[in-house]
């Protein structure tokens, strides 16, 4: 039985002092043994948030990472830097990184391999545009993203990875894929992992849904058989994040 996960993606929000305040407010409401909770925070917030959460079960994730160990890469963060700062998870391949910073499938694969090499747990994002959905190529496109991201990665390193399906047309728009639409794609993602790595790995890897997840729709979405929780954007900065984490206690 896969344990549910709810990860908050804070994006480019929260100064260090604001981040500590939010973490302090949310901590007693979301620190639970029933759901794995992760705060993926801006780089400058990592150390103070790790310190604030050190006596809890909440994990801290980074929003990005470079694929080299060190060197002349001004502004980038290495996996070793993240680990030393207390990071457990790292988001890789978010659609905003692909769109605004032109990250290719090749770059994302390099980041995946480097994160795994350093025992950071990737939260790999995949998702289609509205145009792709309307053309009926969603499943084909997502399967291509999955195959590319996991290239050269052996099965024993895949089980603890997390995949987040985020339809681009639902991120921050208020539009949400229906639970059935989300389940259809997440089932296809699990099928892709099964095709590459076999049934055991496919049944153990966690697949999240992201894209305007909120307290009202979380329970229905998370009840789908191939959806193991959510990657939450805007709502992770609000008190309702606690209601999403505690979706099964209403």
Query: Catalytic residue numbers?
Result: 94, 166
> Cα separation of 40 and 44, whole Å?
12
Nearest-10 Cα torsion for 150, 155, 161, 166:
40
Q: How many other CB atoms sit within 10 Å of the CB of residue 129?
A: 16
Is there a contact between 113 and 92 (Cβ–Cβ < 8 Å)? no
Buried residues in 97-117 as b, exposed as e (16+ CB within 10 A) = bbeeeebeeebbbbbbbbbbe
Q: Quick one: which of 157, 155, 249, 173 has its CA closest to 210? A: 173
Cα distance between residue 228 and residue 190, in whole Å: 11
Handedness of CA 45, 49, 50, 52 (dihedral sign): positive
> Residue 65 CA to chain centroid, in angstroms?
13
């Amino acid at each position: 039985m896969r344990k549910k996960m709810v990860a908050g993606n804070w994006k480019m929000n929260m100064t260090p002092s604001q981040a500590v305040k939010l973490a302090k407010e949310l901590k007693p409401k979301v620190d639970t043994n029933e759901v794995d909770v992760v705060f993926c925070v801006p780089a400058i917030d990592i150390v103070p948030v790790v310190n604030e959460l050190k006596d809890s079960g909440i994990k801290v994730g980074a929003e990005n990472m470079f694929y080299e160990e060190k060197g002349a890469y001004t502004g980038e963060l290495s996996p070793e830097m993240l680990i030393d700062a207390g990071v457990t998870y790292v988001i890789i391949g978010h659609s905003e990184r692909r769109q605004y910073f032109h990250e290719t499938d090749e770059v994302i694969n390099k980041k995946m391999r480097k994160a795994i090499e350093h025992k950071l747990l990737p939260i790999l994002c995949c998702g289609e545009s509205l145009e792709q959905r309307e053309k009926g190529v969603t499943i084909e496109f997502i399967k291509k993203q999955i195959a590319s991201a996991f290239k050269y990665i052996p099965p024993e390193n895949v089980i603890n990875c997390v995949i987040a399906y985020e339809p681009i047309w639902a991120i921050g728009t208020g539009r949400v894929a229906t639970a059935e639409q989300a389940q259809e794609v997440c089932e296809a993602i699990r099928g892709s992992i099964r095709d590459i790595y076999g049934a055991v790995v496919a049944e153990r890897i966690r697949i999240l849904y992201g894209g305007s997840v909120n307290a009202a729709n979380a329970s229905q979405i998370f009840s789908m058989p191939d959806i193991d929780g959510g990657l939450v954007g805007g709502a992770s900065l609000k008190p309702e994040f606690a209601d999403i984490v505690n979706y099964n206690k209403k």
